[in-house]
Amino acid sequence: MTDSERDKLRIIVCRVDERAEVIEIEDSLKAMQEVVGGLIQEYMPFEDEVALIVNEEGKMTGLPLNRGICNEKGRLQDIVAGDFFICYAPIESERFLSMPPDLEKKYKELFDLPEMFMMDGRDIKAIKYEPGGKNNPVTTVRASGRQETCYER
């Protein structure tokens, strides 16, 4: 591994309303903060040694909702607000690392499409959609509180 490769991180970036993308960034706090648009926070909701690096204040400052985090049964547990990225974070390492190919493939597929969120009774549902595509679901909430889902043409 060359010094320039060591100075880079290969990550999966998940931007609001965009497909996930594998990119390389500088291995620096400044570069990580630029990706998420603010202070970073490590979030490790999965058994794999991967970390979601999110904007620490994303929910508090009202950043747009981005992707849902589901448990092993597929039930929505959390929603990330704002742009975030996924990197390798082995327990024995003191820093974030580039994604290994197997985990990169798995998490790129898992987070590839952006999501929108809607209430369904007392539950919140995440709906994946093709950004900029037609026939995407659009949820409208009426003044009565009744929600209707229709599709763009």
Q: Answer yes or no: are the C-beta atoms of 53 and 45 closer than 8 Å.
A: no
Predicted pLDDT at 4:
52
Q: Name the pLDDT band for 144 (thresholds 50, 70, 90).
A: very low
Better pLDDT: 144 or 47: 47
Please provide the average confidence, as pLDDT, over all residues in the chain. Answer: 88
Sign of CA dihedral 137, 115, 144, 121: positive
What is the per-residue pLDDT for 32? 98
Backbone φ and ψ of 26, nearest 5°: -65, 145
Q: Which pLDDT value is given to residue 54? A: 98
Q: Computed over its alpha carbons, how large is the radius of gyration of the chain?
A: 17
Average pLDDT over residues 8-35: 97
Domain map of the chain by residue range? 3-112, 114-153
Give the model confidence (pLDDT) of 73-132 as tens digits.
888 999 999 999 999 999 999 999 999 999 999 999 999 999 999 988 888 999 999 998
| Structure confidence at residue 3 (pLDDT) | 52
pLDDT for 5:
56
CA dihedral 132, 152, 129, 138 (to 10 degrees): 120
Q: What is the pTM of this model?
A: 0.83
Beta bridge partners of 137: 151
pLDDT at 1: 54
User: What pLDDT shows up at residue 141?
Assistant: 46
Q: Are 119 and 147 contacting, i.e. CB atoms less than 8 angstroms apart? A: yes
